[in-house]
Amino acid sequence: MASQMESELAKRGKNKDGKDWLRRVGLALLVSRKGRLPLFYREYEGNRHDSKVFHRIINEVYLAMREFADSGTELTVVFDKGMNAPENIALTDSKPGFHFITSYSTYFAEEFLRVKLSDFKPVDSARNRELERVGREDDRIIAWRGSGEFWGRERTVVVTYNPMTAAKQRYSFDSKMLELQEVLFELRSKVKSGKAPWNSLKHLEKHYFQACEKLFLPKDLYQIDLEKGEEGNPKFVFRKDYYRIGKYIEKFGRNIIITDYKNWSSDEIVSASLDRHLVEEAFRQSKDDELVSVLPIL
């Protein structure tokens, strides 16, 4: 769509594919766990944050679920951490027979990252049973259950650990750290010239921070500084902050799930949370060039 064409929906916004320069249209999709049937959809502006959209349509989502469910059935909506704003949780709490299961940022609940893996137990799931059958018990998803106060009420908290995900994240992290190190080496070589603006720490920090953003890495994994070298020339030094690196690595493979359910087992909660992939899989298929590619998805 040409930029000069007016549109209330096609807007530039954060794009997971990194194509922020393109206008896009958002699509909210509600899918049933059984049968993977779409129950509700709503298109929205491409620059609208997910949590704002969810707040705007949550009443319609509730009515759509109630329409397809038997009278008196308990309803459960599963969504990720991008939509668990306090006002959205308050709305789900206010509706009778309406429950939620959501993921939660490890950044805001670091106390749950310190739970020892020895306190975790394997989740009873089809995938775990298959891994056990083929002798890959160490690859099973394990979980720990607790509770905590979130959004003004006591909630059930389940922390999962996926060793295969942790291994993939560690491999990706090590690769990114090597790329970041190359950037730092390049900055050091430019500082040796002694020429402006490379003799300014503020200018060097700007380039370092930009590299971290590009690699989706925290900015505090390295400590950087300018010191006086031989003959008074500036010397760029950088050191790994192993404490910060350790804190970052301990998040790998871990996922925090929060729900208002207290009578569901940990296995049921984890299974429902993992089933969020039903929607994600539908979107991936719609963009698969070898299957059927539909862009925009309308």
* Rounded-to-integer distance, Cα 269 and Cα 259, Å: 8
State pLDDT tens for residues 220-229: 999 999 887 6
Q: Give the per-residue pLDDT at 180.
A: 97
Q: Give the per-residue pLDDT at 98.
A: 92
Look at residue 296 and tell me whether its pLDDT is greater than 70.
Answer: no
Residues 59-87: what's their mean pLDDT? 88
Place of tokens 């020892």: 116
Q: How many helices (H) and strands (E) does the chain have?
A: 8, 13
Q: Where are the domains of the chain?
A: 11-162+253-293, 167-248
Q: Give the per-residue pLDDT at 156.
A: 97
For domain 11-162+253-293, give the CATH number: 3.90.350.10
Q: Of all residues in the chain, what percent carry a pLDDT higher than 70?
A: 92
CA end-to-end span of the chain: 14
DSSP element (H, E) containing 76: strand 75-79
Place of tokens 């599963």: 78
- 152 near 231, Cβ under 8 Å? no
Look at residue 1 and tell me whether its pLDDT is greater than 70.
Answer: no
State pLDDT tens for residues 245-268: 999 999 999 999 999 999 999 999
Q: Give the per-residue pLDDT at 293.
A: 62
Q: Give the per-residue pLDDT at 6.
A: 83
Q: Give the per-residue pLDDT at 170.
A: 96
Look at residue 179 and tell me whether its pLDDT is greater than 70.
Answer: yes
Place of tokens 């459960």: 76
Residues 6+ apart with CB under 8 A from 107: none
> Between 242-249 and 163-191, two packed helices, what is the crossing angle to 10 degrees?
150
- pTM, two decimals, is 0.82
Q: Of all residues in the chain, what percent carry a pLDDT higher than 90?
A: 52
Give the pair of three-digit tokens for residue 212.
């971290």
Select from 252, 265, 200 the least CA-distant residue to 226: 200
Give the pair of three-digit tokens for residue 226.
């300018």
Q: Give the per-residue pLDDT at 227.
A: 86
Q: Give the per-residue pLDDT at 204.
A: 93
Q: Give the per-residue pLDDT at 268.
A: 94
CA 246, 109, 161, 16 torsion: positive or negative?
Answer: negative
State pLDDT tens for residues 35-65: 778 888 888 888 888 888 888 888 999 998 9
DSSP states of 180-246: HHHHHHHHHHHHTT--TTTT-HHHHHHHHHHHHHHHT--TTSEEEEEEE-GGG-EEEEEEE-HHHHH
More reliable by pLDDT, 154 or 82: 154
- 112 near 103, Cβ under 8 Å? no
Count of alpha carbons within 13 angstroms of residue 257, beta-carbon side: 28
* Rounded-to-integer distance, Cα 49 and Cα 267, Å: 31
Look at residue 298 and tell me whether its pLDDT is greater than 60.
Answer: no
**Mean of the per-residue pLDDT values for the chain?**
88
State pLDDT tens for residues 142-171: 999 999 999 999 999 999 999 999 999 999
> Between 201-215 and 163-191, two packed helices, what is the crossing angle to 10 degrees?
150
Q: How confident is the model at residue 177 (pLDDT cuts 50, 70, 90)?
A: very high
Select from 247, 249, 263 the least CA-distant residue to 145: 263
